[in-house]
Amino acid sequence: MRCLKWLKIVSLSIGVLFIGIQFVPVQRTNPPITGEIQAPEEVMHVLRKACYDCHSNETVWPWYAYIAPMSWTIESDVKVGRGDLNFSEWSEYSPMKQDFKQAQSGELVAAGEMPLWFYVPLHPEADLSQEEIDLIVAWGKEAE
Ligand code: HEC
């Protein structure tokens, strides 16, 4: 009986905590697009469906991005992702930086490091076919 009482207290506390953390402000922004990358249409298609949620100012925030604690992780991935590479602000990069980021994109896709692994099961369209991977890798090599 004592055990049941504790179980109630613990689950109630978790419930209260869960509701409480929903009030921590999270910023799901989409700043203006200042100079989007220009790439061949088929490359753009892959970048849009597999990279843009974290590397552009056109993030589609999913419903679970509105529920803490997932919202914190997602906000942070987008913030860090945009900071490293933002296809919506591409024209602000120097030609050298553009080449570097393009080459790096090819390398990370070839290595299976991008898109991030946990993103793929939640976004099946980002599960790239071998052809799509080859396309991005070839595009990356153009900038090496
Ligand atoms: C779920 C979010 C997410 C998706 C989707 C995603 N990325 Fe990233 N990307 C990140 C984060 C976070 C970082 C920075 C941290 C890191 O290096 O792991 C990053 C870093 C990068 C970097 C810079 C690495 C460095 O060391 O500076 C490149 C290039 C990159 N991603 C390319 C891509 C490409 C190309 C795609 C699509 C095929 C993609 N990413 C999809 C989140 C994402």
* Ligand 1 centroid from CA 115, angstroms: 6
Residue nearest to atom 7 of ligand 1 (CA): 115
CA-nearest residue, atom 6 of ligand 1: 115
Distance CA 120, CA 133 (A): 14
Kindly report, residue by residue over 59-73, the tens digit of the pLDDT: 999 999 999 999 999
- pLDDT, one tens digit per residue, over 13-57 is 999 999 999 999 999 999 999 999 999 999 999 999 999 999 999
Question: CA dist 16 to 9, 25, 65, 70, 120, Å?
Answer: 10, 17, 20, 17, 32
Rounded to a whole number of angstroms, the distance between the first and last alpha carbons of the chain is 69
Give the distance from CA 135 to its chain's centroid.
Answer: 20
Q: Cα(36) to centroid of ligand 1, in Å?
A: 17
CA atoms within a 13 Å half-sphere pointing along the CA-CB vector of 66: 4
